[in-house]
């Protein structure tokens, strides 16, 4: 009986992972350029006017804002300010991409919360959506990878024209023993790796790690043109030299986008590093 159940699950997953819509450059471009990140614990979530003002001042292309995580009590935290954020950002010519951190324990809840994230702007549609694939609540590595891939496949099937990104752990310091790179590439238009150093690194080490983050992702997906937006950080824990090295590494590796996690901890040296990446 158990073997039959496993086979049925495998068959279902295979169907979910079938290509629904091939990646399009226009969708991948949604995640290009510089970005800022805001999470549900951040006071900035409740002050959209300040977020947009900072983004305008720093020439930021995309605002990434968390709508909820698997442990949240509601599907969208701070819905009213987030709706205002979408309106204000669009008026300033800045894209807004909501992101959600699923736990993969309750697939239907994860689906519902991604649908809610897509709708935060009301009649003002968001520009794309990102799924933060990092939680390890599901201890079985195979099941966790299967559910992660199935969730993003569901998102693609439900929103075939949406720009979808997979936020992933750094491929250089990957802690999932099984990670569904191929399946995610089938459904996602871009990868946004969290290229955070595992310890304090020299500027050269930071540069090398960031370059490796981009090149490794393109290697494991088998896609040399994979749109990659590097998320470096944590901004508050990096030296000026480290911030600059991350920016240069992402630039030299040909990353399509670059940002630091997160807005609240990005200071003048972080904005200078973003400018270094933008200068090309």
Residues 158 and 125: beta-carbon distance below 8 Å? no
Q: Using CA of residue 115, residue 121, residue 124, residue 128, what is the dihedral sign?
A: negative
Give dist(CA 50, CA 7) in Å, integer: 52
Give dist(CA 116, CA 186) in Å, integer: 23
Q: Which two tokens mark 120?
A: 């935060």
pLDDT at 12: 39
Mean pLDDT of 46-61: 98
Q: What is the pLDDT of residues 9-43, one digit of tens each?
A: 343 343 443 344 445 789 999 999 999 999 999 99
pLDDT at 15: 40
Nearest alpha carbon to residue 147 among 135, 130, 162, 160: 135
Burial 65-92 (b: 16+ CB within 10 A, else e): bbbbbbebeebbbbbebbbbbbbbbbee
Residues 163 and 189: beta-carbon distance below 8 Å? yes
39 conformational bin, left if phi > 0, alpha if psi -120 to 50, beta if neither: beta
pLDDT at 25: 84
Residues 104 and 110: beta-carbon distance below 8 Å? yes
Q: What is the pLDDT of residues 210-219, one digit of tens each?
A: 999 999 999 9
For the chain, domains (ranges, CATH) are 27-279 (3.20.20.80)
Q: What is the pLDDT of residues 83-117, one digit of tens each?
A: 999 999 999 999 999 999 999 999 999 999 999 99
For residue 56, is the peptide bond before it cis, meaning its omega torsion is within 30 degrees of 0? no
- Does residue 177 register a pLDDT over 50? yes
């Amino acid at each position: 009986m158990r073997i039959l159940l496993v086979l049925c699950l495998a068959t279902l997953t295979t169907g979910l992972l079938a290509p629904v819509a091939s990646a399009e450059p226009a969708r991948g471009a949604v995640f290009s350029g510089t970005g800022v990140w805001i999470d549900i614990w951040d006071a900035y979530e409740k002050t959209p006017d300040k977020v947009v003002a900072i983004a305008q001042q720093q020439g930021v292309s995309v605002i990434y804002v968390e709508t909820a995580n698997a442990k949240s009590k509601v599907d969208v935290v701070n819905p009213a300010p987030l709706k205002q954020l979408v309106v204000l950002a669009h008026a300033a010519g800045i894209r807004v991409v909501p992101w959600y951190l699923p736990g993969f324990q309750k697939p239907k809840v994860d689906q519902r919360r991604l649908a809610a994230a897509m709708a935060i702007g009301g009649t003002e549609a968001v520009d794309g959506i990102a799924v933060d694939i990092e939680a390890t609540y599901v201890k079985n590595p195979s099941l966790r990878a299967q559910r992660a891939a199935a969730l993003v496949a569901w998102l693609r099937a439900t929103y075939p024209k949406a720009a979808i990104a997979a936020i992933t752990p750094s491929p250089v310091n990957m802690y999932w023993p099984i990670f569904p790179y191929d399946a995610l590439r089938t459904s996602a238009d871009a990868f946004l790796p969290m290229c955070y150093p595992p310890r304090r690194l020299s500027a050269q080490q930071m540069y090398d790690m960031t370059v490796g983050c981009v090149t490794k992702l393109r290697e494991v997906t088998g896609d040399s043109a994979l749109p990659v937006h590097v998320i470096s950080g944590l901004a508050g824990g990096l030296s000026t030299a480290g911030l600059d090295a991350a920016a240069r590494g992402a630039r030299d590796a040909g990353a399509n986008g670059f940002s630091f996690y997160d807005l609240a901890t990005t200071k003048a040296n972080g904005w200078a590093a973003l400018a270094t990446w933008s200068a090309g």
